[in-house]
Amino acid sequence: MNSPLSVSELNEQIKGILDTTFSSIYVEGEISNLTYHNSGHIYFSVKDKKSTISCVMFKGNAQYLKFRLEVGTKIVISGNLTVYTPRGNYQLLCQKIEPSGVGVLALAYEQLKTKLQIKGYFDKSKKKILPRYPKTIYIITSNTGAAIEDMKKILFSRYPLAQMILLPSLVQGENAKEDIVANIKKVDLLASDCLESSFLIVGRGGGSIEDLWAFNEEIVCDAIYEAQIPIISAVGHENDFVISDFVADVRASTPSNAIEISTPNINELRQYVDSLIDDFNHKYKTILTQKEQEFRHLKNSFEQQSFEKRFAFIDSKILNLQQQFKNTMNQILKTKSDNLTFLKVNYKLNHPTNKDKKGFVQLSSQNKIISIEQIEENEIITIQNSKISASCKVIKKMIIGL
């Protein structure tokens, strides 16, 4: 009779059989019971309609995943079958995982884009404004590609007033993302004192989705979002869209386009300066003419308000008053003289000696001198001369002769 096996021995034998028999397998299923452990390992299960199998992907392989595992995602696993001997559980040890029916990079792209959009990385209200007249343009790209040469030529012909500073960087491959992030942080420090006159262009020329992938990495997007300096994302060609395009403050269709949209045209500026000079000269002449008119007006006003003018005006008023006084006095004297003459004539006419002329008497009624035309029939009147006064009653009044 054979000796019995220990549990550990049995599990080790099963493990050996599984390791050799299922050393390289492909399994398709749906993710469930997913756990991202603090150690960096990923524990989950894959299932179909009838069965479930436990899976593990250790940190060494998990770090190369291009997308994030999510419950319900259908995946294809490359790996081997093994046994976890302490518990006697067999599990699928994952070497590589890809989404089923969807490209791994396409899925990773959509996952990160959705994640960053939820975090607010794409909000337009958070976008920084590029300086209108930049003094310094920082560029993170390869120093050997055609992109940097094109940008140099365009900047020199378009806006030579700006200084271009290149920070050579890897723009593709596994180490590109760390290099790009380090250079973004370096530029942020260099430009910390002149953010209002500087901006940064991060980009490269065209290529495949794999070539451009560094600009779809989360750490690159984080660095762009957290930077203080305004950033233009200029990756690939016009139809290429990477996630850094959405995070950056401005997206350019190409590296060359980044220079075109971020700098003014020097020729247009010259024309603008000429128009400003013309406007200045016109306004200067207009203001000068206006001020000359105001000066003449003030001079005339001063002359009119001078002491000489005031004294002359007062003298003329005194002369006018004197003349008015003289005219008034003459008028008064004339009036008084006329009155005196009138009184003198009346006095002479009413002098008592005139009453003594033969046939002449003075008629009066109620102590008022009247003429003969004023008497009425039956009226009591007084007739008198200088010596005799008599009261008479008018018996009859007749008008004789014409």
Strand partners, 200: 138, 231
The Cα 68–Cα 44 span in angstroms is 13
Enumerate the domain spans of the chain: 7-102, 111-122+133-264, 270-308, 354-393
What CATH number does domain 7-102 carry, 1.10.1670.40, 3.90.950.20, 3.30.56.10, 2.40.50.140? Answer: 2.40.50.140
* Domain 7-102 matches domain 111-122+133-264 at the CATH topology level: no
- Per-residue model confidence (pLDDT) at position 373: 84
Top-level class of domain 111-122+133-264: alpha beta
DSSP state of 324: H
- Average the pLDDT over 278-307 and give the result: 86
- Average the pLDDT over 9-38 and give the result: 81
User: What pLDDT band is residue 350 in, cutting at 50, 70 and 90?
Assistant: low
The Cα 105–Cα 297 span in angstroms is 81
Of the listed ranges 20-24, 161-165, 183-187, the one predicted with least confidence? 20-24
pLDDT digits (tens, 9 = 90+) for 147-160: 899 999 999 999 99
Q: Is the pLDDT of residue 100 over 70?
A: yes
Q: How does strand 42-47 pair with strand 52-57? A: antiparallel
User: What pLDDT band is residue 281 in, cutting at 50, 70 and 90?
Assistant: very high
Is the pTM of the predicted complex or chain greater than 0.75?
A: no
pLDDT digits (tens, 9 = 90+) for 231-255: 999 998 888 889 999 999 999 989 9
User: What pLDDT band is residue 220 in, cutting at 50, 70 and 90?
Assistant: very high
- Average the pLDDT over 268-297 and give the result: 90
> 305-334: string of b/e by CB count within 10 Å (b at 16+)?
eeeeeeeeeeeeeeeeeeeeeeeeeeeeee
User: What pLDDT band is residue 22 in, cutting at 50, 70 and 90?
Assistant: confident
- With beta carbons less than 8 A apart as the criterion, state whether 261 and 203 touch: no
- Average the pLDDT over 314-320 and give the result: 86
- Average the pLDDT over 210-237 and give the result: 92
Strand partners, 63: none
- Per-residue model confidence (pLDDT) at position 2: 65
The Cα 65–Cα 219 span in angstroms is 15
- With beta carbons less than 8 A apart as the criterion, state whether 361 and 383 touch: yes
- Per-residue model confidence (pLDDT) at position 346: 77
